[in-house]
């Protein structure tokens, strides 16, 4: 509404674009920060990864069909776009409905984690500036460093350090908050210097901070981080994304507008349909449909992938506009439908199946 496509009240410059980039990084940081792998262990995490792998196969297959038909010029870019999940967008909705700790919420968080982390890794390796082999080596080096930082952070904290952090958390210094922001900046810059996707650094920072904090520390930090993220930086990203969206191209060209419902339907087929089969013995049909609809919600990564596609001339402008338009529609529609179908007290068919650990995963 305020951008150059409608009211012309605002325009983009380097400062606003930089704030938008920070907002996107903070969105992925908060997504990583909300993930507690101890609670997602067992079936939620295993089924989430399995579901995304099925989505990846479907997405690449659909991409090849669209490429052969002349609908797209890159099956890889469109295929990856169809496998994304807007975890950072869904998590606040789960929290507001008090569903984070519910069995349904755990399945959705695990599926969203795979749908956010998997495409980021795929984009980093397959669409990086260097060769896939070089990108993979750099990715392994980055992961090894992040794991090392996480191991150090997970060690018991000295009592003096804990006391200092608690004391400064209630003062104007806000030392723990500043240290978190420093960690985010450092890992984002490290990922960028290695020619990796900066979102990977932000996501890893969220995971590390979550591991480093105790439950009490995490609860104390949560409102402060949410105030910075959801109160300031993250809305800037979504506003700027709206300002950059070519609304006229969407509504002036009938062909572009026609592709929006097509891509919206493909989100449900590629990302949502696997939920009906992956969770067949764990959730009832109504909850499986709800989970499929919710994990089909996509937007932040769509913006990144379409920007890469346009910059490398591997995506038609008509498809980039239609994909982002479909992502905006999914954010508006899918959570309304999905949460209405799931209900607040969604329960699995067999609680024993949910709690059962996986020996292979426990060994690893």
pLDDT tens by residue, 214-273? 778 888 888 899 999 999 999 999 899 888 888 787 788 888 899 999 999 999 999 999
CA distance 43 to 46: 5
pLDDT at site 345: 52
Residue 82 confidence (pLDDT) above 90: yes
**CATH label of the domain that carries residue 90:** 1.20.1530.20
Token pair 């420093």 is found at 182
- b/e string for 249-284 if b means 16 or more Cβ within 10 A? bbeebeebeebbeebbebbbbbbbbbbeebbeebbe
Q: Per-residue confidence at 358, pLDDT binned at 50, 70, 90?
A: very low
Residue at 4 is within a domain: no
Across all residues in the chain, what is the average pLDDT? 85
CA distance 155 to 86: 32
Mean pLDDT of 122-138: 75
CB within 8 Å of 319: residues ≥ 6 apart? 71, 72, 78, 259, 306, 309
Residue at 3 is within a domain: no
Q: Per-residue confidence at 213, pLDDT binned at 50, 70, 90?
A: confident
Residue at 7 is within a domain: no
pLDDT at site 310: 86
Q: Which domain holds residue 288?
A: 14-358
pLDDT at site 64: 94
How many distinct structural domains can be found in the chain?
1
Q: Per-residue confidence at 363, pLDDT binned at 50, 70, 90?
A: very low
Residue at 70 is within a domain: yes
Residue 90 confidence (pLDDT) above 70: yes
Residue at 9 is within a domain: no
CA distances from 51 to 30, 55, 115, 180, 267 (A): 23, 6, 9, 32, 14
174: left (phi over 0), alpha (psi -120 to 50) or beta: left
């Amino acid at each position: 509404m305020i951008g150059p496509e409608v009211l012309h009240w605002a325009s983009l410059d380097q400062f606003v674009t930089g704030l938008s980039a920070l907002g996107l990084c903070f969105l992925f940081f908060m997504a990583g920060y909300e993930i507690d792998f101890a609670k997602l262990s067992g079936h939620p995490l295993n089924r989430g990864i399995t579901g995304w792998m099925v989505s990846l196969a479907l997405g690449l297959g659909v991409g090849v069909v669209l490429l052969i038909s002349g609908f797209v010029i890159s099956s890889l870019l469109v295929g990856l776009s169809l496998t994304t999940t807007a975890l950072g967008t869904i998590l606040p909705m789960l929290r507001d409905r008090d569903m984070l700790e519910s069995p349904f919420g755990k399945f959705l968080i695990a599926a969203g984690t795979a749908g956010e982390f998997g495409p980021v890794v795929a984009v980093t390796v397959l669409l990086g500036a260097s060769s896939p082999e070089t990108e993979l080596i750099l990715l392994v080096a980055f992961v090894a460093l992040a794991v090392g930082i996480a191991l150090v952070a997970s060690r018991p904290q000295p009592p003096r350090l804990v006391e200092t952090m608690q004391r400064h958390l209630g003062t104007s210094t806000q030392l723990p908050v500043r240290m978190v922001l420093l960690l985010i900046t450092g890992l984002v810059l490290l990922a960028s210097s290695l020619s990796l996707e900066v979102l990977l650094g932000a996501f890893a920072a969220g995971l590390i901070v979550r591991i480093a904090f105790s439950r009490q520390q995490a609860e104390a930090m949560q409102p402060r981080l949410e105030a910075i993220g959801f109160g300031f930086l993250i809305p800037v990203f979504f506003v700027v994304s709206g300002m950059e969206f070519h609304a006229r191209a969407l509504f002036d060209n009938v062909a572009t507008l026609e592709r929006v419902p097509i891509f919206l339907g493909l989100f449900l087929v590629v990302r949502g349909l696997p939920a009906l089969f992956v969770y067949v013995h764990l959730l009832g049909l109504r909850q499986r449909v709800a989970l499929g609809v919710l994990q089909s919600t996509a937007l932040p990564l769509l913006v990144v992938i379409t920007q890469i596609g346009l910059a490398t001339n591997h995506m038609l402008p008509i498809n980039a506009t239609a994909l982002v338009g479909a992502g905006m529609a999914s954010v508006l529609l899918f959570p309304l439908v999905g949460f209405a179908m799931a209900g607040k007290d969604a329960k699995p068919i067999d609680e024993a199946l949910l709690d059962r650990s996986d020996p292979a995963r426990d060994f690893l």
